[in-house]
Chains A and B, each alone.
Chain A
Amino acid sequence: MVGQPPSGRLNLLPAFRLRFTNRTRIVLGAAILGLVVFAALAAPLIAPNDPNAQDLLYTLLPPVWAGGDWDFPLGTDGLGRCVLSRVIYGARIALLVGTIAPIGAMVIGTFIAIIAAYFGGYINTLVSRAVDIWMSFPPVVMALILMISLEHGLKNVILAIVVVDWTRFCRLVRGETITLMKRDYIPAARIAGARHIKVILLELLPGLFPLLVTLMTIEIGIAIIIESVLSFVGISMAPHIPTWGGMVADGMAALYQQPVSLITPVLAIILTVLGANMLGEGLRRALDPKLITRANQV
């Protein structure tokens, strides 16, 4: 070790500086999300057991490395259900909520934001006040109240998240649109004879694209967390559908006997959100209009 050059590969310290290049950020984020997508799509093929099969004779089995059974690699929960299978099936709900809810929030929030910013005046004032009031409610509490008044089920969970979180898009997109509206190419397009809808679609939207991609990936993480919170308190999906939040609630009860049944869904949530955020940050940097300009310069 003494003769090791300062820049030698065995020196582990630089590896801990966590200085990702942007490429690593995008690749790693996409890989994590890819894994979740794969788990969700291939769940019946890769899950060792039926996620809802109870076996009260084998409750709270430890994972294999703690003397468990290879039939249940991560052990079983308090009702004797396979933890691994439930985490894999839980990815389906996470994925559905994590894609549909952000798209819904983006479409509604962006539409309202552009209308407000483009036409200005009273619409703009009205929208920004509404968003201010809306955002003053704690989002999770608002979603809880909504879910209590709605029925269980995927559709309603997504609806609740969209209703709560469209404001996040609306506020930021409105600000960005107002900035873009100050560029002379907007009136220039009007003078060139473009109708309002053309100005919005051809001049404004392409400029908003980097922001939308970033917000979208952030929203994936947020939607997954909100869904987990809702299922944690048991008002998200019907009881027979495995969700990560529901698993956390179940695992809490057996925290001392079988901690893995709690840690597994928590890790699944953390990793998925981390992956989404890394991908979002990576894409934001890659799509930054200033960086685009500089890269294209001859």
Chain B
Amino acid sequence: MNREQVLACIAQARALIRAVQAETDNPAIAQCLRFADQNLHWAQWNLGAVEALLPELEPAQQGPGW
């Protein structure tokens, strides 16, 4: 798998995680998902693919002013 393919898979995984994050009412699961998303964000960062500093700020950073 080349870098682009790895990044595409990670982006898909993050999208799935975020969908569950938005819906869960279970703090234990919310925390697991947070860790998973942070790690995948860090994987993207370590492959030079993202500039957003924190996963939690990504939507804001993509909006006006960012």
Q: Answer yes or no: do A and B interact.
A: no
A residues in contact (CB < 8 Å) with B? none
Residues of B within 8 A of A (CB): none
